[in-house]
Structure 1
Amino acid sequence: MPALTEPKLITGNSNKPLANSIARRMSMHRGMNVGLVDARVERFNDAEIFVEVFENVRGEDMFIIQSTSKPANDHLMELLIMADALQRSSAGRITAVIPYFGYARQDRRTKARTPISAKLVANMLTRAGIERVLTMDLHAAQIQGFFDIPVDNLYAAPIFALDIQHHFGDMDDVMIISPDVGGVARARELAKRINAPLAIVDKRREKPGEVAEMTVIGDVTGKRCIIVDDLCDTAGTLCKAAEVLMDAGATEVHSYITHGVMSGPAVERVTNSVMKSLVITDTIEPTQAILDCPNIRVVPTAPVFAQGILNIWNGTSVSSLFETETLVPIYEGFYSKG
């Protein structure tokens, strides 16, 4: 049954441009102004976070837009405190829209005496009063099972499929590449959408963050290769994989990465790499260095998040947004034919 109240959006400090873009898209869909709830999310002198909501939210369907990106702990605490403020203000339902879910890489115990931090974060979000989560490209699908509340995990693959079809033209020589064995399912999903073959770069790590050896599984000779992954942190592995592919006979290497964490020397590495382009989404607010980089391009996620929020509010299917065909009208204007 459709909700009687209008959806209301509130945001922290992690990605205000994306929150504003989502609000604008929802305004277009609703034919009426959908703004961000007036609130302040700030810090005391000792960096303690304080939240104050200036509007009445009693009984409202609230959506908190907040990525838990760098600084992850600050943005996570903002999200938790905003949820607590809304719950104590008698909000009707609180949905956390988390475009980038931090701590997702800690989804299992890799060795003795280590935590499963993704589960801990899930517990904290639930205890803070959040009743539903909307996110994109979780690092591991099983994280949805860490929650005892509904979790809608959107996919960047249909957006990437639209972008590739728009920018690459003839697809005969395009090949999708998984940068490791663990990412094969994600890469295969995109390959099926654009009807392209698949190859794998098998990597062996000596220790976290350092790759000892890479081998290409599959023939990439004469192919325009597209590396697909969920996140890029320091870009060391990504740039090394591009070199290995070029050495194996690829004509060009491009990368499509959902979450551009881009820590430390990442932008410099991409700028100096053999990659022709790196495409990321705006789930994490891009820095000025990223925006200025000539071979990095940012594609918007506001259209799909806006539609996802409206579908949750209306009680309609969110899984319909998994299909490329569904996103064509949503992204009209971004990827117009001709």
Structure 2
Amino acid sequence: MPTILEPKLITGTANKPLALAIARRMSMHRGKTLGLVDARVERFNDQEIFVEVFENVRGEDMFIIQPTSNPANDNLMELLIMVDALRRSSAARITAVIPYFGYARQDRRAKARTPISAKLVANMLVEAGVERVLTMDLHAAQIQGFFDIPVDNLYASPIFALDILNQFKGEDLKDVMVVSPDVGGVARARELAKRIGAPLSIVDKRREKPGEIAEMTVIGNVEGKKCLIVDDMCDTAGTLCKAAEVLMDHGATEVHSYITHGVMSGPAVDRVTKSVMKSLVITDSIEPTQPVLDAPNIRIVPTAPMFAQAILNIWNGTSVSSLFETETLEPAYEGMFRA
């Protein structure tokens, strides 16, 4: 078998700008140009997906960069077909880099006669030939256990902490309070609060039915505070905007939100633009649409430095969890955050 000299990156159509950014960052680390493997992804007239890889990948360590965001089914199928193409081309190892893991909200049976779709997706990926998964902020941590292969789950909180420490300094940072928009997200919010040395509050919500909020209660004193709502996902932004209003009603001076995955479906952008939120910060785990890019109070922080380093660490056989530490990650983001 030939010696593997470099990791090889390939991407589908879900988020090509992120894949290119990761390749650029890895090129900086390696001191040599590391591009994307030349391939084409096409659709036949009946929307069947066809993949062709134009380079030799025999014996190579392959990393497929493909979030399974909207359209989730097309992007997932694209990923599975790319895996099959690489496996049949004798790639030595295939790692699926899935910045946003779709179907993660279907991680358990909430009622009778419903599927656990996240487990089904995990089975499909393993059966297709994926040998390792690299993702970010899984909606439910237990999804890692759905796989019988290694799963590295990165966290956006170290990136958000760097941004917050640059945006809020001195006296401003003393007034910051981290807020979890629901009880289920307390662990995520507590992690960020610990990183920046801020107190924690919770917005307790009660739903009458999915997508509709009946009541919201603030647990903790937010009066006079700059509140930072932390969550893993913003879909239609209804809950987020309502939580911002409730916090302002309870005396908060400003409300900002830090959300890992900007799904931003339907009326989300319009709601955020018209909301009381001063800013919404999301990552580029999902390729932002033009309305998201044009929104005056939405900012996007890059994940490419973290994913690039994680891919290199996996390839080298070194620690990925080291990227959870601010001291380790900060050099990769040097000069990227400005107040």
Q: Which residue does the alignment assign to 2:104?
A: 104
Q: CA RMSD in A?
A: 0.9
Q: Which residue does the alignment assign to 1:296?
A: 298
TM-score (normalizing by structure 2): 0.98
Q: Which residue does the alignment assign to 2:336?
A: 334
- Measured after TM superposition, the shift of residue 109 of structure 1 is 0.4
- Measured after TM superposition, the shift of residue 324 of structure 1 is 1.2
Amino acid corresponding to residue 141 of structure 2 in structure 1: A
C-alpha distance in 2 between matches for 1:181 and 1:333 = 35
Amino acid corresponding to residue 257 of structure 1 in structure 2: I
Equivalence map 1:235-250=2 (5 Å): 235-250=237-252
Work out whether 1:287 is the aligned partner of 2:289.
Answer: yes
- Measured after TM superposition, the shift of residue 325 of structure 1 is 1.3
C-alpha distance in 1 between matches for 2:231 and 2:43 = 35
Which secondary structure does the structure 2 equivalent of 1:221 belong to? coil
Q: Which residue does the alignment assign to 1:7?
A: 7
Q: Which residue does the alignment assign to 2:17?
A: 17
Amino acid corresponding to residue 241 of structure 1 in structure 2: A
C-alpha distance in 2 between matches for 1:60 and 1:4 = 6
Work out whether 1:146 is the aligned partner of 2:146.
Answer: yes
How many aligned positions are there?
A: 335
Amino acid corresponding to residue 267 of structure 1 in structure 2: V
Q: Which residue does the alignment assign to 1:46?
A: 46
C-alpha distance in 2 between matches for 1:325 and 1:277 = 26
Report if aligned partners of 1:60, 1:93 keep a CA contact under 8 Å in 2: yes
- Measured after TM superposition, the shift of residue 309 of structure 1 is 0.2
Which secondary structure does the structure 2 equivalent of 1:18 belong to? helix
- Measured after TM superposition, the shift of residue 131 of structure 1 is 0.1
Q: Which residue does the alignment assign to 2:115?
A: 115
- Give the gaps of 5 or more residues in structure 2: none
C-alpha distance in 2 between matches for 1:133 and 1:4 = 20
C-alpha distance in 1 between matches for 2:283 and 2:93 = 28
Which secondary structure does the structure 2 equivalent of 1:230 belong to? strand
Q: Which residue does the alignment assign to 1:228?
A: 230
- Measured after TM superposition, the shift of residue 5 of structure 1 is 2.6
Report if aligned partners of 2:13, 2:41 keep a CA contact under 8 Å in 1: yes
Report if aligned partners of 2:273, 2:295 keep a CA contact under 8 Å in 1: yes
The superposition leaves residues 145-201 of structure 1 with CA deviations (integer Å, 9 ceiling, x where unpaired) of 000000000000000000000011121100000000000000000000000000000
- Measured after TM superposition, the shift of residue 130 of structure 1 is 0.3
Q: Which residue does the alignment assign to 1:165?
A: 165
The superposition leaves residues 103-157 of structure 1 with CA deviations (integer Å, 9 ceiling, x where unpaired) of 0000000000000000000000000000000000000000000000000000000
C-alpha distance in 2 between matches for 1:124 and 1:69 = 17
Amino acid corresponding to residue 167 of structure 2 in structure 1: H
Which secondary structure does the structure 1 equivalent of 2:32 belong to? coil
Report if aligned partners of 1:267, 1:289 keep a CA contact under 8 Å in 2: yes
Work out whether 1:261 is the aligned partner of 2:239.
Answer: no
Amino acid corresponding to residue 182 of structure 1 in structure 2: G
Which secondary structure does the structure 2 equivalent of 1:46 belong to? coil
- Measured after TM superposition, the shift of residue 333 of structure 1 is 1.9
Which secondary structure does the structure 2 equivalent of 1:275 belong to? coil
C-alpha distance in 2 between matches for 1:232 and 1:39 = 32
Report if aligned partners of 1:5, 1:61 keep a CA contact under 8 Å in 2: no
Amino acid corresponding to residue 6 of structure 2 in structure 1: E
Work out whether 1:211 is the aligned partner of 2:213.
Answer: yes
C-alpha distance in 2 between matches for 1:74 and 1:324 = 36
Amino acid corresponding to residue 200 of structure 2 in structure 1: L
Q: Which residue does the alignment assign to 2:188?
A: 186
Report if aligned partners of 1:246, 1:253 keep a CA contact under 8 Å in 2: yes
C-alpha distance in 2 between matches for 1:234 and 1:335 = 27
Q: Which residue does the alignment assign to 2:32?
A: 32
Report if aligned partners of 2:4, 2:61 keep a CA contact under 8 Å in 1: no
Q: Which residue does the alignment assign to 1:196?
A: 198
Report if aligned partners of 2:177, 2:222 keep a CA contact under 8 Å in 1: yes
C-alpha distance in 2 between matches for 1:180 and 1:330 = 32
Work out whether 1:79 is the aligned partner of 2:71.
Answer: no
C-alpha distance in 1 between matches for 2:332 and 2:90 = 33
- Give the gaps of 5 or more residues in structure 1: none
- Measured after TM superposition, the shift of residue 332 of structure 1 is 1.0
Amino acid corresponding to residue 246 of structure 1 in structure 2: M
C-alpha distance in 1 between matches for 2:7 and 2:189 = 34
Report if aligned partners of 2:4, 2:60 keep a CA contact under 8 Å in 1: no
C-alpha distance in 1 between matches for 2:335 and 2:45 = 45
Q: Which residue does the alignment assign to 1:133?
A: 133
Report if aligned partners of 1:122, 1:146 keep a CA contact under 8 Å in 2: yes
Q: Which residue does the alignment assign to 2:179?
A: 177
Which secondary structure does the structure 1 equivalent of 2:174 belong to? coil
- Measured after TM superposition, the shift of residue 233 of structure 1 is 0.1
Which secondary structure does the structure 1 equivalent of 2:327 belong to? helix
TM-score (normalizing by structure 1): 0.98
